[in-house]
Amino acid sequence: MKNLLLISKRLDALIERIGQISSWLIFVLVVLVAGDVLFRYFFHISSIAEQEFQWHILAAIAMFGSAYTFQQGEHVRVDLFYHSYSEKLKIWMDLLIPLLIIIPYSVFIIYLSSDYVAQSFTTGEVSPDPGGLPYRYLVKSLIPLGFTLILIQAVAILFRSITKIKEGN
């Protein structure tokens, strides 16, 4: 059981770092948007590539932040009921929800989106807008990457729950 708990802590540490990266990406996004607004209104300069880059950063924030949000217990769930559950029932819910819903769903999305990214990579997909960014597959690759991070966090929660159940907590 100690091995499962150790693995869980290491996976949690990885997701914690990803969450920190995501928070810095929010700062970068705010600076880019502020700069875009300043340049557009004061200097009448605008860049399609820079605007697309903002969307790409927003996609990274959403996909990286999802796993971190899940780790922190801030994800969408029916807290109205979960809050009133006993600790034992919460542990069982934390075991069953990743096992029955989150892990299978994440694997399914990773599977489906991998072909989507591969097709984009194979065709050398670029932005359809003139002056847009090349390498569209990079932003599309955030989908399987983000769900892999969610999968990693689900495994960490699953291992932690198994440990708690085995220890009788």
Rounded (10°) angle between helices 142-167 and 103-123: 160
Give the C-alpha distances (Å, rounded to integers) separating 2 from 6, 12, 143.
6, 15, 32
From the CB of residue 52, how many other CB atoms can be counted at a distance below 10 Å?
A: 17
Q: How far apart are CA 145 and CA 163, in angstroms?
A: 27
- The mean per-residue pLDDT over the stretch 140-157 comes to 96
Number of domains in the chain: 1
**Residue 153 belongs to what domain range?**
2-167
pLDDT tens readout for residues 9-61:
999 999 999 999 999 999 999 999 999 999 999 999 989 999 999 999 999 99
Mean pLDDT of 117-126: 95
